[in-house]
Amino acid sequence: MEKEHVTLTQPDGTTLELPILEGSVGPKTFDVTSVYKKTGMFTFDPGFMATASCRSAITFIDGEKGILRYRGYPIEQLAEQSSFLEVAYLLLYSELPSAEQLTEFEYIIGHHTMINESLQMFYRGFRYDAHPMATMVGVVGSLSAFYHDSLDIHDARHREISAHRLIAKMPTIAACSYKRHKGEPFIYPRNDLNYTANFMRMMFATPCEEFEPDPVAAKALDLLFILHADHEQNASTSTVRIAGSSGANPFACISAGIASLWGPAHGGANEAVLNMLDEIGDVSNVDKYIARAKDKSDPFRLMGFGHRVYKNNDPRATIIRKVCYDVLENMPTADSPLFELALKLEEIALKDEYFISHKLYPNVDFYSGIIYRALNIPMNMFTVMFAIARTAGWVAHWMEMIGDPDHRIARPRQLYLGAAERAYVPLDKRG
């Protein structure tokens, strides 16, 4: 049977057949890799609006139907029944672990949580008021200077050890960034605690006072980590892949991913949502801000609304909204007026013609900040929380890419709009 193809007709009437590639689920894709060779033209797609940049078997999203699956498992089932480390294992190794494999994985991650003591000096080099994301970019990038023994990207075992180190050390690095910012001593990890509880203790204990993580808080945080663990070819994951495509070491690649995540259109949105809610302040001001979001001459956007892929609902937002209710019921620190304000904003926006016609719905970050605040996590750490979780996805994508024998350096082309060739004019001859 003839293979399906798309026919491209050139201005001179000649045609080119472009093979259609089928994934296991989701839209078909036609292969444009031969277009330049055969037509002398490039394809143009800024922002990758319709371009599949790679093959991947990790995460599937159907933006129209609001579906998100890791390795085939619906996010709702993982959120309900799994744990973050089990999800990290699933992303890395393609399958859910057996009980024995999970215990071993938890042991390995638990025994890679310490960071080299010299890194403390590195932290001290930052100004006390450095944003924790700035510290994260620097410290994670510096790890390649400390862990030389796992840097051979062509060795599968080295790649695996680096992946384990990154997942394990990220909470320690994050907590140290916070402690540095706060001017408190670093708290060392403890191997008898689970991933999330250990992180909370490193954040909130001091040498003079122990910290017992509240089980509701630890569970809510673990769930947020599951929801943020991966999201296929988003900006930061694509950044990790592009950085890694040149053969750069994994620590440098993840540092690049953190830098990309920091932007307010991506992971920085959770911090921006709380800033926005604080600025709105009261339900009586909601209409004014909705009007601003619709006004094209005003750069203000409703933060936590809209998504490149989800056009009807973000399944992660639906799950988080429910968790907000649980946290509010069970935690005295929860800020219910803030949640009520968020609910009101959502209610008004969802009835508004502009938001309906632009298909703008609350995304994962609209509610996550409310939970972080209830857990006493300071606002400038919100995006760091996202980075801890997304590290599992980043390393899974990096491993998938490096392990693919067909992978090549990522090198997009451009539509050049600058000056054509012109002759250099000596300084004394310029008008």
Interface contacts to ligand CMC, rule CB under 6 A: 231, 234, 265-267, 269, 293, 301-308, 358, 360, 363-365
How far is it, in rounded angstroms, from Cα 351 to Cα 306? 15
The residue (of 113 and 234) whose beta carbon lies closer to ligand CMC is 234
At position 175, the amino acid (one-letter code) is A
Beta carbon of residue 382, minimum distance to ligand CMC (angstroms, whole number): 11
Q: Taking the CB of residue 54, how many other CB atoms lie within 10 A of it?
A: 17
* CA trace torsion 49, 51, 53, 54 (10° rounding): 130
Beta carbon of residue 136, minimum distance to ligand CMC (angstroms, whole number): 16
Per-position DSSP letters for 392-411, written without gaps between them: HHHHHHHHHHHH-TT-----
Q: Which residue is nearest to ligand CMC (CB)?
A: 306
- Cβ proximity of 379 and 373 under 8 Å: yes
Instruction: For 261, list phi and psi in degrees, rounded to 5.
Output: -65, -30
Give the active site residue among 222, 230, 314, 365: 365
The residue (of 168 and 277) whose beta carbon lies closer to ligand CMC is 277
Q: Which of 138, 92, 99 is nearest to 119 (CA)?
A: 138
The residue (of 177 and 234) whose beta carbon lies closer to ligand CMC is 234
Q: Is residue 278 among the annotated active site residues?
A: no
The residue (of 110 and 268) whose beta carbon lies closer to ligand CMC is 268
Beta carbon of residue 246, minimum distance to ligand CMC (angstroms, whole number): 24
The token pair at 396 is: 């899974």
The residue (of 359 and 407) whose beta carbon lies closer to ligand CMC is 359
Beta carbon of residue 290, minimum distance to ligand CMC (angstroms, whole number): 9
Give the active site residue among 307, 314, 352, 397: 307
Q: What share of the chain is helix, strand, coil (3-state, %, to 5)?
A: 55, 5, 40
Beta carbon of residue 265, minimum distance to ligand CMC (angstroms, whole number): 4
Helix (H) or strand (E) holding 99: helix 99-110
Q: Is residue 154 among the annotated active site residues?
A: no
Catalytic annotation, residues: 307, 365
